[in-house]
Structure 1
């Protein structure tokens, strides 16, 4: 699906840009990642300023983590927002390698 055809309010993995995206009326929210062998390293999350604190970032990260889980991939949460989300939602902790959890504060 091209970005122009991307339905609003649906999270989409833009593999070419290496980021999960969510188009909103206020602009694009995204979670950038890099493939890291059998894992996905999340490096940065950004939400339009008008939407900060309204759950858009959480919705985006939840979809990205669900996708990683469905693919059987581990997650390296270098992005503080992704790490904090995993810390608040322990069901995703299994996606983080146990050796990395301490370093991430999880």
Structure 2
């Protein structure tokens, strides 16, 4: 079975990064521009058909690399994005960690 064709793109109209799996939308990572140079990632959604196949990891990796290339600071609100950042380094990315739940 051939490897699926995965393509990540930034969709500014919908304020999200999207990943296509063989031409089908496999998921997206929403972003919110807080101010120039500051962006929040509140949610990542992966189609259940593509979970546990590395689709979300590739999506978030590409999205964060793009944010780094744009010189943006990222606020990771999404649990998936937070977990990714704890496990992987994204060269040049500035991260502004949100307070932990229960912190002021």
TM-score by structure 1 length?
0.79
Residues 77 and 104 in structure 1, CA contact (< 8 A), matched pair in contact too:
no
Structure with the higher helix share, 1 or 2:
1
- 1:18-71 CA distances to partner (integer Å, 9 max, x unpaired)? 000011246431000100112110011011101111110000000000000000
Unaligned 5+ runs, structure 2: none
CA distance in 2, matches of 1:9, 1:94: 23
Partner of 2:33: 35
Partner of 2:21: 24
Structure with the higher strand share, 1 or 2:
2
Measured on the aligned residues, the alpha-carbon RMSD in Å equals: 2.2
CA, structure 1 residues 12+52, in 2 after alignment: closer, same or farther (shift >3 Å)? same
CA distance in 1, matches of 2:56, 2:73: 20
CA distance in 2, matches of 1:104, 1:60: 24
Number of residue pairs matched?
A: 95
CA distance in 1, matches of 2:67, 2:93: 11
CA distance in 2, matches of 1:34, 1:54: 26
CA distance in 1, matches of 2:86, 2:92: 7
Counterpart mapping for 1:93-104 below 5 A: 94-97=93-96, 100=97, 103-104=99-100
